[in-house]
Structure 1
């Protein structure tokens, strides 16, 4: 997956969870899911790792999946989130942690144990073949159904929620609160 698949499918998964877990509609003072954080968390591993591994320290890492694609990254965010939630009733870090974990699952990180279970296999990240990952993603987006399928699905999901927000005149509310 590239972007729309990560954001759209993760958003749909959290919306399904919200509909099942919270049978009663949330009031202004009750806990709710901030979908702005879901969108950020769904792409957070790429936001962190792509610039570090593919641009700034390319000669060091030779890999655009490093720290934020490791299981420890999401687990630490979730642990910080649980601690923070117990102290302040704010679920922000937990949402980021779970969303980034879903990102890693969608990226099939278990197929790269040296990255996903880092630092269990050593402190050095395995290298991936050098190349232009942007061009590679574009080619995959146009030719690989396992790439363009989730992107199309994600685009439909995001489009559905955007249209719903526009029709219900709730865009400003979403931007302010993150509620869908």
Structure 2
């Protein structure tokens, strides 16, 4: 689910941190990173079922945060962007309601084996039935929030759109 994670991460980040100078490009990358890892690594897994990978674990997100703090200088723009990327990955876990599966969320603290047979966002989206409307509703909520934000930030104006692409910031 792309728009659920993008819209939800931007909404929660802006609600919690109220940081208008945060680079939303890095937040978006972080918000999609666990699913991208799952998708890329999923290509190498034999066709014997789907698996959620370590990108959906707290250890991965905290590792991103630790790397951001160790590899960047205090007060630098690089550190702020790296921390925002890690925050996006953590918000992804929140939006996925990651605590439902503690074996994956707390990997490797509860053992090194990853749970198998979980329906992933990428593989499950193509097989949705009319009875399973939650993912569709989540995508609609994400698209709706992003559309509202586009209107509020006046991104129809090419100057505002260019600023978003150049600096990653919105003025609302």
Change (3 A) 1:141 1:95: farther
Is it true that 1:74 corresponds to 2:61 in the alignment?
yes
Q: Check conservation: 1:80, 1:94, Cα contact below 8 A.
A: no
What TM-score comes out, normalization by structure 2 length?
0.81
Higher-helix-fraction structure: 1
Paired position in structure 2 for 1:110: 99
**Matches of residues 25-174 of structure 1 in structure 2 within 5 Å?**
32-52=21-41, 54-58=42-46, 62-83=49-70, 84=72, 86=74, 88-89=76-77, 90-128=79-117, 134=122, 136-140=124-128, 143-163=131-151, 164-167=154-157, 169-174=159-164
Change (3 A) 1:85 1:33: farther
Aligned pair partner of 2:169 in 154, 161, 179: 179
Paired position in structure 1 for 2:10: 11
Change (3 A) 1:170 1:107: same
Deviation at 1:155, TM superposition (A): 0.2
Deviation at 1:124, TM superposition (A): 2.2
Runs of 5+ consecutive residues of structure 1 not aligned to the other structure: 27-31
Deviations 1:58-102 (A, max 9, x none): 468x44411111110111112222342526353122111111111
Deviations 1:15-64 (A, max 9, x none): 22343xx5xxx7xxxxx200011111111100111220x2212468x444
Number of positions where the alignment pairs a residue of Structure 1 with one of Structure 2: 166
What TM-score comes out, normalization by structure 1 length?
0.78
4+ aligned runs moved over 4 Å, structure 1: 131-135
Runs of 5+ consecutive residues of structure 2 not aligned to the other structure: none
Task: Tell me the secondary structure at the aligned position of residue 179 of structure 1.
Answer: coil
